[in-house]
Amino acid sequence: MNSSQYHIPYNKPHLTGKEVHYMQDAVLSGQLSGNGKYTKLCQNLFQERFGFGKCLLTTSCTDALEMAAILLEIKEGDEVIVPSYTFVSSANAFVLRGAKIVFVDSREDCPNLNEDLLENLITSKTKAVVVVHYAGVACNMSKIRSLADQYGLFVVEDAAQAIDSYYLDNSQPPKALGAIGDLAAFSFHETKNLTSGEGGMLVINNPKFIERAEIIWEKGTNRSAFFRNEVDKYEWVDIGSSFLPSEVTAAFLYAQLEAIHQIQEKRHHIWNTYFDKLIDWATANKIQLPTIPKYATNNAHLFYLVVNGLDQREKIIAHLRNQGILAIFHYISLHKSPFYREIHGDRELPQSDRFTNSLIRLPLFYDLTDKELGYIIGHVSSISL
Ligand SMILES: *Cc1c(COP(=O)(O)O)cnc(C)c1O
């Protein structure tokens, strides 16, 4: 228990108001299974708004990553390069197909993978690089793409956190994250900017994967082609699973997608307020605030502090908890996980470990009020360190 009247959670899922309306429409329409009206509305809107290749809604980002691993025909003996500072699914999806994961360290200025370390990790067995746009901030995609092309590797974007964020290359118009890799995976889990509770999406930018992706999505059958009258019966033609969400989930997501502008505006307001009000305190205490490289934009997914070690982090988290504010740390290096540490070997990934021990996320959700925001900022900046 805390002594304050405030109880500010780390996250609270936001409702735009239209969710139940669209869900009711889906229910009354009589089609509740997947790939109906709302699934198509969402997929088309994502494709048009962000310039994505073919979009397929999935039941989670984890599922979308598993589809990616199947599509790339990952098998025993293949190597996949993945940052260590990420969610388990970025690696697990490929382990399920038999891959050996080769973990890469983070950059110093942000948790994204350090592109300068990639080339040394590439072997004749490397099949793909998985990039994670941490906090919705782009990895250095020009460098990564050109290395991938040079060595014949596929690029998979784990864009779980990266909706409505862009990669900036002076020679080209801004490119939405998720539109760059051969494949990309998004999450609509309730902690993400857009949500359907649980949900995700696979984006297929490399056209050679589109036909097979639809089959894998529909349990290994050519059901999608059947519904387009391209074949006269549908059959088992490949491996696959049940990756598509029901229309009820898609209807919920559609309401969120329609309100994306409003959601993003509010999240940017909160993010910018944190940054502007905490920068002096952070500088004075040698605490790092999120860095947005020149080639990246910010989608206000996370606001985090990188403090000076585990003790300082515990002190800050405890201080905030006593004031009714839930601030939380994030990933634990996957190369040190009970599941993977023996397979990983003894390569040190010091930046990943630094973020493991020193990163704190502050509450950031649509319904956070200015009063609550001021309260959090006041308590963060008055901690004596
Ligand atoms: C949230 C997240 C996932 C998992 O998303 P689910 O939709 O819950 O499967 C994967 N990778 C990253 C980087 C995430 O942030």
* Phi and psi angles of residue 94, each rounded to the nearest 5 degrees, phi first: -85, -30
Q: What is the pLDDT of residues 97-149, one digit of tens each?
A: 999 999 999 999 999 999 999 999 999 999 999 999 999 999 999 999 999 99
Residue 5: its pLDDT value, please? 76
Nearest CA to 354 out of 323, 322, 308 is that of 308
CA of residue 62 to ligand 1 center, whole Å: 6
Question: In a mutational test of the pocket of ligand 1, which residue from 86, 187, 196, 202 has the highest number of ligand atoms less than 8 Å from its CB?
Answer: 187
Q: Relative to the CA of 192, which ligand 1 atom is closest?
A: 1
- The two three-digit tokens of residue 207, written as one number: 């056209």
Atom of ligand 1 nearest to the CA of 189: 7
The whole-number pLDDT of residue 6 equals: 85
71-92: average pLDDT: 98
pLDDT at 2 over 60: no
pLDDT digits (tens, 9 = 90+) for 248-288: 999 999 999 999 999 999 999 999 999 999 999 999 999 99
Q: What is the rounded average pLDDT for all residues in the chain? A: 96
Q: Say how far apart CA 106 and CA 331 lie, in whole Å.
A: 12
Determine the distance separating the centroid of ligand 1 and the alpha carbon of 187, expressed in angstroms: 6
**pLDDT tens for residues 302-328?**
999 999 999 999 999 999 999 999 999
Residue 90 Cβ contacting ligand 1 at under 6 Å: yes
Residue 16 alpha carbon to ligand 1 centre in Å: 22
Averaged pLDDT for residues 26-49: 96
Write down the pTM of the prediction.
Answer: 0.97
Question: DSSP secondary structure string, 326-348?
Answer: --B-----GGGSTTTHHHH-S--
Stretch 9-37: mean pLDDT, rounded? 96
Across the range 31-52, mean pLDDT stands at: 97
Check pocket membership of 61 for ligand 1, CB cut-off 6 A: yes
Tell me how far the alpha carbon of residue 257 lies from the centroid of ligand 1, in angstroms.
Answer: 18
Token code pair at residue 314:
């515990």
